[in-house]
Amino acid sequence: MEVPVGQAQYRAMKPNLIAGNASLILGLMMFTLPGFPKTPLSRVSITIRLLDHVNLLAEGRQDLEANAKRVLGAAGVAVELIQCFRGGVATGIPACTTPLGPTDFVVRVLHPKLAAKDRQLGYAAMTSEGGAYVTVFLDPARRRARVSSLTDGTLLGHAVAHEIGHLLLGPNSHSSSGIMRPVWLLCDEEWMAKRVLLFGSDEAIRMRAALTARTESRFRNAD
């Protein structure tokens, strides 16, 4: 499957090379501000079809999946991940070839040489219906994470959650803190390693509402 590029709008995300004490203070402020999600009152589910075109190592793939599930799960969005391509070769799983449903998403992992900018980590292809396609970039032979305790797979899992956030939250959905910050600072990667870089509570409510609306729209169209 390929990302449609016709009328889609792209919301890209990349890390920033800024470091130092100011960034650490900002990260502490971010984590202590109110509004970060607690246990959600309701949960909705999505399915991610993973198209690995770079031949991720098993550990990296597991880190990507575990962290995307954890971050989205903290917002009340349960995730099922199906690996449809491994190293650019189709896995032959039947669920990979069925039409996309309203809560199905496609995540491609491509080599960074295909990114628009060298530091770009990913983008979401947004359509008038919200969109279902996400692309993230990783070279398994070249480390992207700047924090020693953070694996590239964990970094990529957060990138996947960020881009799916765009598809559910809509245009202009970047925030000044948390996982939807447009440019990740060094302190953000430190919070990723500590497993505390998450969606805000308002973002989580809006994401669940968007998924519910997608499902209801499918039912209305079927009638």
Beta strands per DSSP E along the chain: 9-15, 44-52, 77-86, 89-90, 104-110, 122-126, 133-137, 183-184
Average pLDDT of the residues of the chain? 84
> Who contacts 213 (Cβ-Cβ below 8 Å, separation ≥6)?
none
Residues 66-92: b if buried by 16+ CB within 10 A, e if exposed: ebbbbbbbbbbbebebebbbbeeeeee
Share of the chain above pLDDT 70, in %: 78
Q: Supply the pTM of this predicted model.
A: 0.83
- The pLDDT tens digits of the residues spanning 21-44 come to 444 444 444 443 444 555 555 678
- The pLDDT tens digits of the residues spanning 82-134 come to 999 999 999 999 999 999 999 999 999 999 999 988 778 999 999 888 899 99
CATH code for the structural domain at 9-16+41-222: 3.40.390.10
Of 5-9, 75-79, 188-192, the poorest mean pLDDT is in 5-9
Phi first, then psi: give them for residue 132, nearest 5 degrees. Answer: -140, 0
Q: What is the DSSP letter of 53?
A: S
> Who contacts 193 (Cβ-Cβ below 8 Å, separation ≥6)?
147, 149, 150, 154
